DNA sequence: TGTACATCAGTGAACGCGCGTTCACTGATGTAC
DNA sequence: TGTACATCAGTGAACGCGCGTTCACTGATGTAC
């Protein structure tokens, strides 16, 4: 019996494993995640994940890195779409895209920021998160060049922008908002909060 | 041999167990937390935690509820101290206190927002988090009465304020900031970000 | 002052389980000659 | 066209372990009479 043939029909195994991590976390929570369950979902022996990712931390780091790459992709798309409208609106777009990604892939988003479970030395992970971060920095730089930053410190604005989007996404995912905020549509909330921030910090229009 | 006598000398056992949770998470991460390790730290049988908290989720919920109570205490103290200076500065104080609490007790802060590991039906937990949330709402209400809110929606400002403080705290704890932001003193960052937010959203002074 | 009883904090043994890692292996595929 | 060899994806059995929960129990304390 050829297992290789079966898995060739299925698809790239490491890729399928990463996909299964999301499923597993969605069903049983991040703290219950196990190599064996992930392997089971893909229909592969429980030793397979370690074969490709070295160990559990390695697998989760690959998953987190993929998350940062996806986040960067989503943000880039959004930036392309709002290229013409200036830095301030581009910043609002990033906020919206950030929250949209987090809410669409809460399991991945969660793992991306749980360093206790990751291999902190993974260069794949660092590169991926750097790429995402640099998109924010570039946009703030654009704001500065357009003069909408006033005398504010660039890094501080970047940090505030990241914080507000990250906080909104985290609070939503943790379930703290649904029963506290009447308008419980996260897309709308993300738009409103991003716009509030940009209007207030960078000046209206 | 009287175990009861020993533990009477030590102190209230449930309290000691809650304390030990923080220690354990600090050392091994939240995902490695076990009832048995917590019991070991207190010097009590591994069945003791279940005796007091029913099960693991119950124990963590009690820990999270304690966290919300502590957070509310810290925020209340800060509000008392800045009572005279008006709603805007009170709001900045809340932000600083929120981040200070989160950074001082990262293990507890983390558990407070990991609902996948908590007993969501715990009324102790809900009451504690409601109390903390209401402090924010009251302060925003004060801002509205002082007219510093302009035509902004109260709930939206509350959400934005919570998000920015929560995001900053989470990003710091996750280790994303230390090597990205040159000024890596979290107290200073929290002050600057809070002040930026309040100045921008509520108008300078 | 003494006895009987209820309460309850905490024990410790037992359960069955799923876990991560290791390792020698199989068998398919591609390449060199 | 055929053979020999290296590579590597994936297996499956075995390991030792720590876990959460259950349960009958002990023994100290407080209360009622």
Nearest CA among A132, A11, A111 for reference residue A63? A111
- Segment A137-150 shows an average pLDDT of 95
Q: What percent of chain B has pLDDT over 70?
A: 94
Q: Are A136 and A143 in contact (CB under 8 A)?
A: no
Helices and strands per DSSP (H, E), number in chain B: 10, 0
Q: What confidence tens digit (pLDDT) does each residue in A65-122 have?
A: 999 999 999 999 999 998 778 999 999 999 999 999 999 999 999 999 999 999 999 9
Q: B5-9, B23-27, B107-111 — which is least confidently predicted?
A: B5-9
Give the CA A40 to C1' C26 distance in Å: 21
To the nearest 10°, the Cα dihedral for B102, A163, B137, B118?
-50
**Can you give the pLDDT at residue B203?**
81
- Segment A42-53 shows an average pLDDT of 97
Rounded to whole angstroms, the Cα distance separating A178 from A181 reads 6
Enter the tokens of residue A110: 């969660």
Q: What confidence tens digit (pLDDT) does each residue in B112-154 have?
A: 999 999 999 999 999 999 999 999 999 999 999 999 999 999 9
Is strand C less than 7 A from the beta carbon of A50? yes
Rounded to whole angstroms, the Cα distance separating A25 from A16 reads 15
Rounded to whole angstroms, the Cα distance separating B18 from B26 reads 13
* Residue A128 parent element (H or E): helix A123-146
Q: Are A182 and A92 in contact (CB under 8 A)?
A: no
Q: Which residues of A touch B (CB under 8 A)?
A: 29-31, 113-117, 120, 129, 133, 152-153, 155-157, 159-160, 162-168, 170-171, 174-177, 180-183, 189, 192-193, 196-197, 200-201
How distant, in Å, are the alpha carbons of A176, B111, B169 from that of B163? 11, 17, 10
Q: What confidence tens digit (pLDDT) does each residue in B29-74 have?
A: 999 999 999 999 999 999 999 999 999 999 999 999 999 999 999 9
- Prediction pTM value: 0.94
**Can you give the pLDDT at residue A49?**
98
**Can you give the pLDDT at residue B1?**
34
Rounded to whole angstroms, the Cα distance separating B35 from A2 reads 44
**Can you give the pLDDT at residue A204?**
62
Is strand D less than 7 A from the beta carbon of A7? yes
End-to-end CA distance of chain B: 66
Give the CA A123 to C1' C29 distance in Å: 31
Give the CA B118 to C1' C13 distance in Å: 29
Rounded to whole angstroms, the Cα distance separating A63 from A22 reads 9
How distant, in Å, are the alpha carbons of B45, B103, B171 from that of A112? 36, 19, 11
Phi, psi of B45 (to 5 degrees): -65, 155
| Helix, coil or strand: residue B183 | coil
* Residue B66 parent element (H or E): helix B56-81
**Can you give the pLDDT at residue A20?**
98
Q: A19-23, A163-167, B180-184 — which is least confidently predicted?
A: B180-184
Q: What percent of chain B has pLDDT over 90?
A: 87
Rounded to whole angstroms, the Cα distance separating A180 from A172 reads 11
**Can you give the pLDDT at residue A9?**
45
Nearest CA among B12, B14, B36 for reference residue B24? B36
Residues 90-109 of B with CB under 7 A from strand D: none
**Can you give the pLDDT at residue B204?**
62
């Amino acid at each position: 019996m050829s297992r290789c043939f079966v898995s060739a029909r299925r698809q790239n195994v490491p890729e399928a494993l990463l996909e299964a991590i999301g499923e597993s976390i969605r069903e049983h929570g991040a703290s219950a995640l196990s190599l064996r369950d992930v392997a089971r979902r893909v229909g592969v022996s429980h030793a397979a994940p370690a074969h490709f990712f070295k160990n559990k931390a390695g697998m989760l780091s690959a998953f987190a890195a993929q998350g940062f790459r996806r986040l960067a992709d989503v943000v880039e798309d959004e930036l392309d779409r709002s290229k013409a409208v200036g830095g301030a609106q581009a910043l609002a777009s990033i906020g919206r895209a950030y929250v949209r990604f987090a809410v669409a892939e809460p399991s991945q988003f969660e793992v991306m920021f749980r360093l206790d479970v990751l291999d902190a030395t993974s260069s794949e992970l660092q590169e991926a998160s750097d790429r995402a971060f640099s998109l924010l920095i570039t946009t703030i730089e654009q704001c500065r060049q357009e003069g909408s930053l006033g005398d504010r410190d660039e890094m501080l604005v970047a940090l505030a922008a990241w914080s507000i989007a990250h906080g909104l996404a985290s609070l939503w995912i943790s379930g703290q908002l649904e029963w506290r905020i009447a308008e419980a549509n996260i897309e709308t909330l993300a738009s409103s909060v991003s716009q509030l921030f940009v209007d207030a910090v960078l000046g209206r229009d």
